[in-house]
Amino acid sequence: MGCSAFSKKNMKTKILLPFTIVSFLFIFFILYVGLNRSNIYIPETVTNEKIPTFKVKVFNSEKELTSKEIFENDIYYLLNIWASWCIPCRDEHPYLMELKKNKKLEIVGLNYKDKVKNANNFLNELNNPYTLILSDTDGTIAIEWGAYGVPETFLIYNGKIIKKIIGPMNNNLFKEIERAVK
Amino acid sequence: MKILNLLVIIIFLFNFNVSNAKDRNLNSKITKNLRCLICQGQSIHDSDTEFANSLKLVVEKKITEGMSENEIYEFLKTKYGEWILYDPALNQKTYILWLLPLLLFLIGGAIIFKNLKIKKN
Amino acid sequence: MASLIGSYSLFFSLGFSVLILFFSFKNLKNTINFDNKLLSLTFLQLLFIILSFFGLIIAFINSDFSNSTVFNHSHTTKPLFYKISGTWGNHEGSLLLWLLVLTLFIFLFLISSKKQPKKYRVLTLLFQQIIIIGFLIFLIQTSNPFAQIYPVPSEGLGLNPILQDPALAIHPPILYLGYVGSSIIFSSVLAASSTNYISKEWAKHIKQWILISWIFLTLGILLGSIWAYYELGWGGFWFWDPVENVSLMPWLALTTLFHCVLVLEKKLLLTSWVVILSIATFTLSMSGTFLVRSGILNSVHTFANDPERGLYILIFLFTLIFLSLFVFFFFHKTDGQNNTSFFWLSKETSILINNWFMMYFLAVVLIGTIYPIFLDVLTSQKISVGPPFYHKLIIPFLIPFLLAMAIGPKLNWIKSNLQNKSHLLLLFAISLILSFLIIRILEISFLVNTILFTSAFYLFFITLRDFFIKGFKNLAQNIAHFGFSLLILSILFNNFLSSEVITNLKVGETYKSDELTINFEKIEKIKKQNFEAIIGKFNVKSDNELVDILKPELRIYNQPNIVTSEADIKTNLLSDKFMTMNLVQNQEYFNIRYQIKPFMIWIWFSVIIISFGGLFSFFKKKYEN
């Protein structure tokens, strides 16, 4: 073994070792930061996105409306996706009843994968905050809105989605909507 | 030169859309490539959550409306984000994902071939 | 009482670790032979861990809900078998299983390595103790299986019903014998590097440990796949989910390591490969543990989502990595003495090519698994990397890999020539023609599939021919490679020939298609120990002849209150018939999924055959010794 093998090893140590150490430190840093992030995916809400165009049946009737017809007036709309079998929907219901009092806001309900009888029972029990109820028995309309569960709520103005709430409304979100509608 | 040939062959093979599942059904093919947002660890095809069942209907509807596979993926991407696709698209965000393994393969090959003796001694 | 013993045993084990460290250092410094005190101490440590483990098992059997682990994961109505297996079916218990394997393996190592150099043995013990201490502290501090809760609840929260399955009961112990067993290879290589003992003798000795770890790891992965197939109800067996990938990566490293050690035991070559791979295998095991227990990744079966624990493992893992880097860079001598240029057509080169491809596959799986983390941290965007990614990058490369597997073993050491190899070309031609026919008959398009079938068949025929003509020469290798070719062929056939029917049926309704009819005859309700079952009876007819009666179930468990869908699977050598039944929200009908999956059982058989190859190799050495 001569000098060449020795200096080769030195060179290897000089370049490869720092490079390896730096790479591992980088990986460590990324994993460390990654630990504190949530691993559950929630779709991003893009503000000021146009509402989807679709046709939908009115609740408990054969009549069909288009999205244009539903959101035609120059006021704020709140589209609330709900179902009688959905427990968090019960929790958020009082907030919807409060919002019903707001003159600037109309609440449109989208009854998701529900039976007419059960939905009616639900509304009779907890009162009806909706000026209009639409029926989404197979869940396909909700998908047009980019929703994936119940409840989800959309604040709409001028054909655009201003705010999206995933999950039940709480006090903070309720206040945010009130502020946005002023 | 050998490396260049190897590179060409690899790119050529890579461009084949290797579809191993002989799906008679385009719907199955698409729903297997979609990720369920509720359970987050299953494809829409395998999942039986409400969301998955509705999405299967939506895909069916879009197919009968004449949308192509890619158009359906684009549609769902706008609604739910890229996360919903199991097959990561090749774009700025994923160049490293797709190309790094191939790059490593080529580098590995180069190191090995450099040290080989071709002539018989 | 059992919990108390269990808890104190852990502290005693930690105490023994300290004693072992002390006496090891002493033994290293002095010139006498291996200190037998160390063997006794290692044995005592193992004993206390076993005691601790039994303490936990007994707590589970007695449904001792003062123990928080038992409370969180068990229930009085659970069948006894699952009470016992529930011990390791949770985060804390599985860590105790880690310790059991760690301490068992070092003890077995010491008693089977008496002829090995003293310094090497002591250092291996020392490095292993570093790992053991790390886990003991982790266990005691953050994941104590004997944590108490007060007041004592009267009932537990129950074990997730999908974990109440025999395959899943033995999957962790078998998997851990492989996964955690690779720790001994890690400790051993660091010890050998530090004492300049990377040699043919060391290779012969460590090869047995590599085989043990590899055989168990292969079987462990197989059991996991079998469980996924039978229990999860989607009819698949591999989804490239992070937990699966995390078990595959050490397997890839270990397989490559084994092939390199085969070279090393004959000639002083590939030493750097051996050292790096030995370190990498256990490092990948630890990284895997980190990835699935810290909550950093989203996966079907992560057990503990606790960033505090994740942080500990992360720091521990990187400590081990930096330690091994230090040993490698400052102690390892590359084989500069030998000419490292290999002739292109030689066995050494074919092993290098094997390494090349295997490392590529490892890179694909590793990058696919952790890339979403990197992207999220650096750009706050989330993407999914699923089966299509892995298939696109791996399948094309399987082709040259299978061909190299067929030809490589036939080459001679140092140099080979191409005479007397006409059978190689003949078998290739047969494979090509056969594949072409299959592609045509099954109406599959794509060039890639033809070549894929050809290369798989080629390996298949070559290994088969070698078995018949050369008999017991290289038997282990033949069996393992044959098994692999069978695996690829089974997966290919299963993939192309599978079909499924998805439909909604009410009781009494019938589904009709050109090929078959499925009649939903009735439902039955049955009450069992910890669940109620709704069993559907389905008559499947093909051409008006009754082909199968399938009875998928819906199970409503009491604690936790979960509904699971149990598939009914009818297996035979030719194909599996797989049926699941699911409730549809708010409707009176059920969603039925019926799948025909040809050659499923051959997929399982081929993996068993592959592990037999390893088993043969292990026992072959015993004969020669």
- The reply to whether residue B41 touches residue C342, judged by beta carbons under 8 angstroms, is no
State in Å, rounded, how far the first CA of chain B is from the last one: 23
Average pLDDT over residues C329-356: 77
Q: Considering only the beta carbons, identify the residue of B40, B57, B58 that sits closest to A41.
A: B40
pLDDT-derived band at C332 (thresholds 50, 70, 90) equals: confident
Q: Calculate the CA C397 to chain-centre distance.
A: 22
Pair B41, B57 in one domain: yes
Instruction: Pick the residue from chain A with its C-alpha nearest to C309.
Output: A35
- pLDDT value of residue C419: 63
pLDDT band at B19 (very low <50, low <70, confident <90, very high): very low
Mean pLDDT of chain C: 89
Same domain, yes or no, for B11 and B54? yes
Per residue in C95-137, pLDDT (tens digit) is 999 999 999 999 999 999 999 999 999 999 999 999 999 999 9
Antiparallel, parallel or unpaired: β B116-117 and A105-112: unpaired
B43 and B95: one domain? no
Same domain, B10 and B35: yes
Q: Do A30 and C374 touch (CB under 8 A)?
A: yes
Q: Which residues of B touch A (CB under 8 A)?
A: 37-38, 40, 50-51, 53-55, 57-58, 61, 78-81, 83
State the count of interchain CB pairs (< 8 A) between A and B: 42
Q: How far is C246 from chain A (nearest CA, A)?
A: 16
Q: How many CB pairs under 8 A join A and C?
A: 61
Does residue B119 share a domain with residue B65?
no
> Of C300, C341, C591, which is closest to B48 when you measure between CB atoms?
C591
The pLDDT assigned to A11 comes to: 63
Prediction pTM value = 0.91
Subunits in contact with chain B (3 or more CB pairs closer than 8 Å):
A, C
Q: Which of A161-175, C305-319, C412-426, C575-589 has the lowest mean pLDDT?
A: C412-426
Please provide residue C40's backbone torsions phi and psi, each rounded to the nearest 5 degrees: -60, -45
| pLDDT number for residue B10 | 58
Q: Do B54 and A140 touch (CB under 8 A)?
A: yes
pLDDT in tens, chain A (182 residues): 444 555 555 666 678 888 999 999 999 999 999 988 888 888 887 777 888 888 899 998 888 888 888 888 888 999 999 999 899 999 999 999 989 888 889 999 999 988 899 999 999 999 899 999 999 988 999 999 999 989 999 999 888 898 899 999 989 999 988 888 87
Q: Rounded CA gap, B13 and C526, in Å?
A: 54
Q: What is the pLDDT of residue B2?
A: 65
Mean pLDDT of chain B: 81
* pLDDT one-digit tens code per residue, C232-287: 888 899 999 999 999 999 999 999 999 999 999 888 888 999 999 999 999 999 99
Q: Cβ of C557: how many Cβ atoms within 10 Å?
A: 23
pLDDT tens-digit series, residues C46-65: 999 999 999 999 999 999 99
Longest CA pairwise span in chain C (Å) = 84
| pLDDT tens digits for range C452-495 | 999 999 999 999 988 888 877 788 999 999 999 999 999 999 99
Q: How confident is the model at residue B18, as a pLDDT?
A: 36
Q: Which two tokens stand for residue C312?
A: 């500990």
Q: Which residues contact A142 (CB under 8 A, 6 or more apart)?
A: A81, A110, A112, A136, A148, A152, B54
Q: What is the mean pLDDT of residues C553-567?
A: 85
Please give the full DSSP string across C204-263, using - where no structure is assigned: HHHHHHHHHHHHHHHHHHHHHHHHHHHHSSSS-S----HHHHHHHHHHHHHHHHHHHHHH
Q: Interface partners of A (3+ CB pairs, < 8 Å)? A: B, C
Environment class of C502 (CB within 10 Å of its CB; exposed 0-12, middle 13-18, buried 19+): middle
Residues B63 and B7 in one domain: yes
- According to the model, what pLDDT value does residue A2 have? 47
Q: Between B24 and B83, where is the model more confident?
A: B83
Residues of C in contact with B53 (CB under 8 A): 584, 591
Contact: C374, A1; criterion CB under 8 Å: no
Q: ipTM score here? A: 0.88
Are B64 and B12 contained in the same domain? yes
Residues B119 and B79 grouped into a single domain: no
C558 pLDDT band, cuts 50/70/90, is confident
Q: Flag the least confident range among C291-300, C462-471, C530-539.
A: C291-300
Residues B21 and B66 in one domain: yes
Percentage above 90 pLDDT, chain C: 60
- Mean of the pLDDT values across residues C578-604? 90
| Closest-CA residue of chain A to B35 | A41
pLDDT exceeds 70 at position B17: no
Quick one: closest CA in B to A112, which residue? B50
- Residue B28: give the domain boundaries: 2-88
Structure-token pair, residue C87: 């011990």
Please give the pLDDT value at position C124.
95
Residues B35 and B10 in one domain: yes
Chain A residues near residue B79 by CB distance under 8 angstroms: 43, 143-146
pLDDT at residue B36, rounded to an integer: 92
Picking from C310, C321, C586, the nearest residue to A35 by CB comes out as C310
Distance from C-alpha of C581 to C-alpha of C566, rounded to nearest angstrom: 8
Question: Mapping DSSP to helix (H, G, I), strand (E, B) and coil, where does residue B19 land?
Answer: coil
Measured between CA atoms, the residue of chain C closest to residue B38 is: C300
Per-residue pLDDT reduced to its tens digit, C388-408:
999 999 999 999 999 999 988
Taking the C-alpha atoms of residue C260 and residue C277, their distance in angstroms, rounded to an integer, is 9
Contact C391 B20 (CB under 8 A): yes
The CATH number given to whatever domain includes residue B27 is 1.10.8.640
Cross-chain Cβ contact B79/A40 below 8 Å: no
Contact B101 C389 (CB under 8 A): no
Task: Determine, for residues B83 and A41 on separate chains, whether the beta-carbon distance falls below 8 Å.
Answer: yes
The two tokens of residue B110 are 């180069």
The total of structural domains in chain B comes to: 2
Q: Residues 6 or more apart from C604 whose CB is under 8 A from it?
A: C222, C225, C226
> Based on the domain organization, do B66 and B14 belong to the same domain?
yes
Shared domain for B84 and B96, answered yes or no, is no
pLDDT tens by residue, C222-235? 999 999 999 888 88
Does C444 score more than 80 pLDDT?
no
pLDDT reported for residue B21: 36
pLDDT for residue B16 = 43
Q: pLDDT: is C605 or C515 the higher one?
A: C605
Query: How does residue C336 score in pLDDT terms, banded at 50, 70 and 90?
Result: low
